[in-house]
Amino acid sequence: MNKESENQIKDELAERQRLEDVIQVIKKKKIALKEKASGLRESIIDLRKDFWDDVTVNLDEPDDIIETQASLKQQAEFLAERERSHGNIDHERKTLDSLQDSPYFGRIDFKENQTKEEEKIYIGKASLMDEKDENFLVYDWRAPISSMYYDYAPGPAQYESTEDTINGEITLKRQYIIRQGQMKGMFDTGLTIGDTLLQHALGNNANTKMQSIVATIQKEQNKIIRNERSNLLIVQGVAGSGKTSAALQRVAYLMYRFREELNANDLLLLSPNPLFSSYIINVLPELGETNIGQSTFLQFLRKRIEKNIEIESPFEQIEYTLTERHKDKNDIRVINMDYKSSLDFKQMIDSYISYLNHTGILFKNIKFRNEIILSKEEITRYFYALDSSISIPNKLELVSKWLLKEIRHIQQKEVSEDWVLEEMQLLDKEDYQKAFTYSQDMYGDEDDPLQEEMFLRKEVIQRAFAPIKKQIKRLKFVHVLATYRNLFEKWEPNLKPKNWETIATFTVKHLNKRYLTWEDATPYVYFKGKILGHDADRSIRHLFIDEAQDYSAFQFAFIRHIFPYTRMTLLGDVNQGIYAHTTSENPLIPDAVESNHERITLTKSYRSTKEIVEFSKHFAPGHSIIEPFEREGKKPTLLQTENNLVQTLLLEIEKLRRYGHETIALICKTMEETNQIYELLRKEIDLYPINEETFSFEKGILVLPVYLAKGIEFDAVIIPDASSNQYNRESERALFYTACTRAMHDLTMVSPGEPCLFIKEADNDTFKVG
Ligand SMILES: Nc1ncnc2c1ncn2[C@@H]1O[C@H](COP(=O)(O)OP(=O)(O)OP(=O)(O)O)[C@@H](O)[C@H]1O
């Protein structure tokens, strides 16, 4: 045996020994923690049981009451503090469990220039100290020193400590695969983080839940994850380049880095569809962090729109534009979408709002018992008599105060009406008792029926007017929808855009049915916020927007308006813009955004095999560079069929299953096609149709429209109709590209008839005809 192999064996033995030692430490820590937890649990149970014993309750004098309150508060705080500690212990226990399974995944040996000392730095999902809590056995991957693991190959390296830049040299970089506490593999790596480990991670079957990439984060991705300085970080990354993965790792990083200031409620992720939301749900808990708030943009808008107004979903909108019947570019709907997505329309709303400051806001009558008690004319007069320099929301606040005062006068008049007496009969026994006690307290022992009656009358009046007052406080007397409608119906804009009359007629038709098309939903909420005020959200500190290419310029401007002080990370791919309104105004396109931003571009695609990337990049809509990660597979297959579609699909599914694929997706262009394919195959095979209400999926055979497959991946993808009949418009290029790039290992396109133009654009040797 030569010296080198001898050293290698020694080294491996030492690593195995260290792993065992570390696991021993973890086990001991778990035992100690268990004891601490049981002590704490008992003390919490005792505290809850004896809560009142330790509180001095005395309500005799005002001073005693204050003392009682203080004593109660102290006791409650004491209990809460114990419960918090118990929660922390629980968190610590989960961390130790996870470390026991796999305590670390990487190591660098770093020699500092100044001290000349070399330290072995082991990196894992969380930090671990030795038994005396003196030295780090494992560093958290987010610690400053760990950044070098992701950023440098062996050789000169540096990192930013809290005070200074530390320079030195990495003399060794090593990776481990440790599962169930056992060393399964160990590699010394060079330039990038272990192709071996990455190959291993990417070669596995697709998961129905996304996994964290902590062990194999790439240098470019690390820049996104650890970026602290920019207020607006824009990531343009090709399909499968790890944008979503990086975004979630970034959340975990920020929560660690700013743990004193940030908690999960301060972060929000806007995601493309409910299926995606559940797809990523495990990543943060796997990294030891709590999940942050998540919402689709539709859910976000829905919360801000009146319940009795129906909103079209973005998917219904896409379905409309993709359906063959509406392919005409002059389709009024498409014209409407284009205009309502633009900043020009936002400007038009702004000038309409300036106009409304002088005239034009519509109000509703305030009715009581079917009678108008305050008319819309009176409200209008009061509103427009207020100084025009006061903003509309502030004027509405003044109107609201005035209305409440008027209501009080009306209440005083109504109290002696006959209907009040009738309603009094319906009051509870307790109310009569209260009236009696009140009269006793106020007017001595003698029973005073008149006072009691007055008390009860007032009670009836208070209850009857309570809903009206609530509505007034919520500014419900403003007829927002009708005022918005007048923008199109009555108002004469100075500068009318092209096709204004057609757009206006189309919009009014829908608003009359209390229906907002998707392109009108954001403008409406923007308008409503500007009129009623209070629309800025200052509670969110970081906003993440995934699939950012699918937002229109108007939607972005609106988001900025709602979150004026929030830091933002936008992640997207211009190649995957599937909405008709993705225009040159989208912020992912340079120059379209605020000047103060930072842009990171990811060009390497990790999801799909080299063959799938080499094929699909030929017809990617943008002109961006797309590089494959070197993972070999089979070339995509094109199957041309004439009239045996069902047979072809069944045979192909069977073949893909034989290859070991567990998640096979039949990706269609529309929901209409999805339903057709489902109907064709459902009697032959078990398959799961997915629609916009599907919240999660299991392994198996799935059938879904491409817009619901956004952000998700499958072992194999079959495009059941890749013919020129189905994909024939330039605007469908991104859709076809998105469908192809959902495949990790295998891609099959079935074409009844002539294959689509996009396939023809690919080099012949990048796919095979089967
Ligand atoms: N550094 C990495 N280590 C291991 N796996 C990675 C890494 N980067 C990306 N991946 C894997 O590549 C796949 C694609 O990642 P992700 O979904 O984050 O990409 P994306 O850019 O958001 O994709 P798309 O825009 O196409 O939806 C996932 O399976 C992810 O786990």
Q: How far apart are CA 698 and CA 708, in angstroms?
A: 15
Residue 428: what pLDDT?
81
For the CA of 711, the nearest atom of ligand 1: 27
242 is in an annotated binding site: yes
Q: CB-based contacts of 659: which residues, under 8 Å, 6+ apart? A: 716, 745, 746
Residue 194: what pLDDT?
56
Task: Find how far residue 707's CA is from the centre of its chain.
Answer: 17
pTM above 0.80, yes or no: yes
CA 92 to centroid of ligand 1, rounded, Å: 29
Q: How far apart are CA 566 and CA 580, in angstroms?
A: 28
480 is in an annotated binding site: no
3-state secondary structure of 74: helix
Mean pLDDT by groups of 10 residues along the chain of 770 residues: 78 93 94 79 68 65 71 69 69 90 95 90 94 90 94 92 90 92 86 68 80 89 93 93 95 92 93 89 89 93 95 91 66 87 93 95 94 95 94 96 95 87 82 77 71 83 92 96 96 89 95 96 97 89 94 91 93 82 58 72 94 94 86 94 90 95 95 95 94 88 94 95 91 93 96 92 92
CA 723 to centroid of ligand 1, rounded, Å: 29
CA 580 to centroid of ligand 1, rounded, Å: 26
How far apart, in Å, are the Cα atoms of 748 and each of 326, 374, 709?
A: 28, 67, 16
127 is in an annotated binding site: no
Cβ pair 600, 219 in contact under 8 A: no
Closest CA to 710 of 663, 653, 758, 665: 665
Which of 105, 198, 217, 245 to mutate to test ligand 1, by most ligand atoms within 8 A of the CB atom? 245
pLDDT tens, position by position, 260-270: 889 899 999 99
Question: Which tokens hold the place of 420?
Answer: 């009040």
CA 276 to centroid of ligand 1, rounded, Å: 14
For the CA of 239, the nearest atom of ligand 1: 26
pLDDT tens, position by position, 643-676: 789 999 999 999 999 999 999 999 999 999 999 9
- Residue-by-residue DSSP string for 374-417: E-HHHHHHHHHHS-TTS-HHHHHHHHHHHHHHHHHHHHHHHTTS
3-state secondary structure of 368: strand
How many other CB atoms are found less than 10 A from the CB of residue 79? 15
Residue 459: what pLDDT?
86
How far apart, in Å, are the Cα atoms of 731 and each of 335, 590, 621?
A: 15, 21, 9
Q: How far apart are CA 200 and CA 206, in angstroms?
A: 13
329 is in an annotated binding site: no
Residue 594: what pLDDT?
62
This complex has an ipTM of 0.99
Residue 156: what pLDDT?
95
CA 240 to centroid of ligand 1, rounded, Å: 5
The response to whether residue 240 sits with its C-beta less than 6 Å from ligand 1 reads: yes
CA 621 to centroid of ligand 1, rounded, Å: 20
Residue that is written with structure tokens 């007829």 in the block: 479
239 is in an annotated binding site: yes
The residue type found at 39 is: G
Q: How far apart are CA 628 and CA 608, in angstroms?
A: 8
Q: How far apart are CA 244 and CA 284, in angstroms?
A: 12
Helix (H) or strand (E) holding 270: strand 267-271
Q: Which residue, by CA, sits nearest to atom 1 of ligand 1?
A: 217
DSSP β-ladder status, 136-140 and 118-124: parallel
Q: How far apart are CA 205 and CA 744, in angstroms?
A: 8
437 is in an annotated binding site: no
Q: Which residue, by CA, sits nearest to atom 26 of ligand 1?
A: 239
CA 409 to centroid of ligand 1, rounded, Å: 65
Cβ pair 361, 483 in contact under 8 A: yes
For the CA of 571, the nearest atom of ligand 1: 22
Closest CA to 293 of 281, 302, 303, 301: 281
Q: How far apart are CA 534 and CA 560, in angstroms?
A: 14
The response to whether residue 201 sits with its C-beta less than 6 Å from ligand 1 reads: yes
Residue 757: what pLDDT?
92
Question: Which tokens hold the place of 280?
Answer: 């990523």
The response to whether residue 55 sits with its C-beta less than 6 Å from ligand 1 reads: no
The response to whether residue 271 sits with its C-beta less than 6 Å from ligand 1 reads: no
244 is in an annotated binding site: yes
For the CA of 247, the nearest atom of ligand 1: 18
Q: Which residue, by CA, sits nearest to atom 12 of ligand 1?
A: 607
How many other CB atoms are found less than 10 A from the CB of residue 467? 10
